């Protein structure tokens, strides 16, 4: 009786093994791997395992794949098949709901992905699918100097298969409280951009950017525009985009220090002026994953004034974020903000270097 019970238990265990161990991969050398198929581009296959995380496998080394869940299989001739898959005699068999079982030669497989994840990316809903981080840096000095510095940045991205919404806000506030209290730096930038893919390589974008810079006597600059972009590089580790378009800029400089115009006798006046003009938007953005824990970001933008070609703005940014844990990291950010025609008494360049903690989030 005991032996019979053990035999029944073994049969039941073997019957439910695929459900327990998930997707099954067999390699040419006889190795068997169990986990969850994340994706494949026809050259490599990424399998998520409990013991080793994501494992990347040469697709040519795979002899058998078995999955009971719905996968999305894209072929080299642009067909899409959805259903559980198995492999047999150099082919992938897709058990579709509409066409029944369809065979695809392994050499014709262009992409494999989780159908459920695809649907989430295609229609994630506005309140879901956000990812980003909060950067925080703080320093305090007392004794021969009394200064405080607070750097705060928030970035949030809502990507889908066909579009992307980006929101950002950053602030740097440095004060000197020794003797005569003064503001050493006070810079606030914020913006919103929406990108929509027109095809796999090109996209259209619209957005608005805002900036306030106390040391440059800039009360507020608003730039509203749009244009076209080109995905020059799109891979798991690197993305490179080029953008071109137009923007309308409205900026106000006021409440600055008293300046002395070249007059006889000298007359002290307060600087204040408003600019409104059309400008070009020319830029590039780069993101690169350096290893498993570090991401490098870089951007360069150039905004020439169309009504006065001798005047322009430029922005350069270079940053790194290194993961310490799933939600905690360390970030470094360098920025160069250039204005060709700043108010009298201020410099054209603002160079900013910040470092601190990064708190990442996904919703």
pLDDT tens digits, 320-347: 999 998 889 999 999 999 999 887 777 8
Domain CATH code at residue 186: 2.40.128.130
Taking 80 as the threshold, does the pLDDT of residue 248 lie above it? yes
Q: What's the pTM?
A: 0.70
* Cβ(256)–Cβ(217) below 8 Å: yes
Looking at 122, 153, 182, the residue that finishes a domain is 122
Domain membership of residue 93 as a residue range = 19-122
Give yes or no: residues 210 and 80 share one domain: no
Give yes or no: residues 95 and 238 share one domain: no
Give yes or no: residues 29 and 87 share one domain: yes
Give yes or no: residues 250 and 356 share one domain: yes
Give yes or no: residues 94 and 214 share one domain: no
Tally of structural domains, the chain:
2
Give the pair of three-digit tokens for residue 45. 């296959």
Q: How far is CA 226 from the centre of its chain?
A: 19
Nearest Cα to Cα of residue 223 among 188, 263, 192, 185? 192
Share of the chain above pLDDT 90, in %: 35
Give yes or no: residues 182 and 328 share one domain: yes
* Confidence at 318, pLDDT banded by 50, 70, 90: very high
Give yes or no: residues 105 and 144 share one domain: no
Tens of pLDDT along 2-29?
454 554 444 444 444 444 457 888 888 8
User: How long a stretch of residues is the chain?
Assistant: 363
Give yes or no: residues 156 and 223 share one domain: yes
Cα separation, 125 vs 340, in Å, equals 43
* Confidence at 291, pLDDT banded by 50, 70, 90: confident
Share of the chain above pLDDT 70, in %: 83
Give the pair of three-digit tokens for residue 172. 């740097």
* Cβ(240)–Cβ(286) below 8 Å: yes
Give yes or no: residues 137 and 73 share one domain: no
Tens of pLDDT along 65-110?
888 888 888 888 878 888 888 887 778 888 888 888 888 887 788 8
Give yes or no: residues 140 and 157 share one domain: yes
> Hey, which bits of 106-181 come out as E strands?
109-114, 131-141, 147-159, 163-176
* Confidence at 210, pLDDT banded by 50, 70, 90: very high
């Amino acid at each position: 009786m005991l032996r019979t019970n053990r035999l029944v238990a073994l049969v039941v265990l073997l019957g439910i093994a695929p459900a327990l161990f998930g997707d099954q991969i067999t390699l040419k050398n006889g190795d068997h791997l169990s986990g969850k198929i994340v994706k494949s581009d026809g050259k490599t296959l990424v399998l998520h395992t409990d013991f080793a995380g994501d494992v990347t496998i040469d697709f040519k080394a795979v002899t058998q794949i078995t999955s009971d869940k719905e996968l999305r299989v894209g072929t080299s001739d642009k067909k899409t098949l959805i259903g559980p898959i198995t492999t047999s005699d150099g082919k992938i068999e897709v058990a579709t709901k509409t066409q029944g079982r369809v065979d695809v030669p392994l050499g014709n497989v262009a992409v494999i992905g989780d159908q459920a994840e695809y649907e989430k990316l295609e229609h994630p809903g506005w309140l879901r699918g956000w990812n980003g981080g909060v950067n925080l840096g703080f320093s305090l000095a007392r004794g021969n100097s009394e200064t405080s510095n607070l750097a705060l940045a928030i970035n949030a991205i809502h990507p889908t298969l066909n579009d992307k919404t980006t929101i950002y806000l950053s602030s740097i506030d440095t004060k000197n409280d020794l003797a005569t209290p003064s503001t050493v730096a006070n810079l606030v930038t914020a913006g919103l951009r929406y990108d929509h893919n027109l095809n796999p390589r090109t996209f259209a974008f619209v957005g608005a950017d805002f900036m306030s810079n106390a040391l440059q006597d800039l009360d507020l600059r608003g730039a509203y525009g749009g244009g076209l972009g080109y995905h020059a590089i799109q891979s798991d580790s690197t993305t490179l985009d080029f953008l071109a378009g137009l923007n309308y800029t409205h900026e106000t400089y006021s409440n600055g220090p008293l300046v002395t115009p070249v007059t006889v006798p000298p007359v002290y006046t307060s600087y204040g002026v408003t600019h409104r003009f059309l400008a070009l938007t020319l830029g590039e953005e780069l993101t690169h994953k350096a290893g498993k824990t570090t991401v490098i970001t870089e951007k360069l933008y150039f905004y020439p004034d169309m009504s006065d070609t001798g005047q322009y703005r430029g922005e350069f940014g270079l940053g790194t974020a290194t993961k310490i844990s799933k939600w905690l990291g360390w970030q470094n950010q360098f920025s160069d903000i250039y204005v060709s025609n700043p108010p009298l008494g201020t410099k054209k360049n603002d160079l900013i270097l910040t470092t601190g903690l990064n708190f990442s989030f996904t919703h």
